[in-house]
């Protein structure tokens, strides 16, 4: 728990640009932890490619936490972020999983310092394809973006959709893909990740 507190404090103090939902839609066991390597590609507002690392932990059956950092080739050069996903309704029979994800970010974008607080309603549902379980999701992240350099603010909105699935049952590896589409004052991008369980 001390590590989670430290990561959250760091996310409030340093330059960040959080991207993607990671593996929060995957039904991992309680207290299961993952570390992820993710390839990020922003396709609007100045195209760029980057890498990010993410720590994920399922704290309870209805609550998960993630935090991470990243680097990119463009104007969003560094990132550190934290988020929590709270399940309102579980994935059960014909009912999809419905959750609310809250996030906190600080970022340096195009030379300006930003503080971002966001919320995203997310709907996901497990399916079986050719004997493999896949957990697609769709969400609408809405973020209040405060620019501390010019004392302005924006409300940013995206459409996010993707999926998480187990790559290797005996090693416990997970894979995730996500596409974000800019609705208003945001960016469009594609994100790919592989997660390894921590024992």
User: How many domains is the chain built from?
Assistant: 1
Cα–Cα distance, 131 to 199 (Å, whole number): 26
In sign, the C-alpha dihedral spanning 44, 46, 51, 54 is: negative
Q: Express each pLDDT in 56-91 by its tens digit.
A: 999 999 999 999 987 777 776 677 899 999 999 999
The mean of the pLDDT values for the chain is 84
18, 21, 40, 76, 163 from 182: Cα distances, Å: 15, 15, 15, 16, 19
Q: Looking at residue 99, which CATH number applies to its domain?
A: 2.40.160
Domain that holds residue 85: 2-198
End-to-end CA distance of the chain: 16
The whole-model pTM stands at 0.84
Q: How many residues in total does the chain contain?
A: 199
Q: Which residues pair with 157 in a beta bridge?
A: 142, 184
């Amino acid at each position: 728990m001390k590590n989670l507190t430290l990561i959250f404090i760091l996310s409030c103090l340093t330059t960040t640009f959080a991207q993607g939902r990671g593996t929060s839609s995957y039904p991992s066991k309680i207290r299961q932890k993952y570390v992820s390597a993710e390839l990020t590609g922003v396709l609007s507002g100045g195209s760029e490619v980057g890498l990010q690392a993410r720590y994920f932990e399922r704290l309870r059956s209805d609550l998960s936490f993630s935090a991470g950092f990243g680097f990119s080739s463009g104007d969003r050069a560094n990132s550190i972020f934290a988020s929590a996903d709270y399940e309102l309704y579980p994935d059960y029979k014909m009912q999809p999983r419905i959750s609310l994800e809250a996030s906190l970010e600080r970022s340096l974008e195009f030379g300006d310092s930003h503080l971002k607080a966001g919320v995203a309603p997310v709907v996901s549902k497990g399916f079986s394809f050719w004997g493999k379980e896949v957990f697609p999701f769709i969400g609408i992240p809405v973020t209040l973006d405060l620019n501390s350099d010019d004392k302005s603010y924006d409300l940013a909105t995206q459409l996010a959709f993707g999926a998480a699935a187990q790559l290797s049952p005996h090693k416990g590896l997970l894979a995730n893909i996500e596409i974000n589409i800019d609705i208003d004052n945001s960016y469009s991008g594609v994100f790919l990740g592989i997660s390894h369980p921590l024992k």
